[in-house]
Amino acid sequence: MITRVVLSHPDELSTWGRQQISTTHFLAWLRRTHETFEEGDRFEEFADVGCCGDALHIPFVVENVEGSGAVTRETDIEYVERTGCDFEGGWAVQSRAGPS
């Protein structure tokens, strides 16, 4: 069982984007949709922006994995920042955090 995984996201991710990926439902989504994680894996996840916002796809990189095997409800997911991604993350319609 994987006990802990560290995912990096672009350091340009807005405050709003950081709030979205920290919600219990987003973390539960990651646990449900990933059977396992391996260091170096890259993937994008969609963050819900509601009924009238722009799509926000966040690129993640798996930086560290503790344990092996399957992801479970008990797998702890942590985030760190990754620099140099040239990423604009925010909700362009209803948030000041949106891309310029």
Q: What structural domains does the chain harbor?
A: 2-82 (3.10.330.10)
**pTM, to two decimals:** 0.83
Confidence of residue 93 (pLDDT cuts 50, 70, 90): very low
Angstrom distance (rounded) from CA 75 to CA 54: 30
Angstrom distance (rounded) from CA 13 to CA 62: 17
Q: With contact defined as beta carbons under 8 Å apart, do 65 and 5 qualify? A: yes
Percent of the residues in the chain that have a pLDDT greater than 70, as a whole number: 77
Say which residue, 56 or 2, is predicted with more confidence. 2
- Token pair for 25: 């439902």
Say which residue, 76 or 16, is predicted with more confidence. 76
74 φ, ψ to 5°? -90, -5
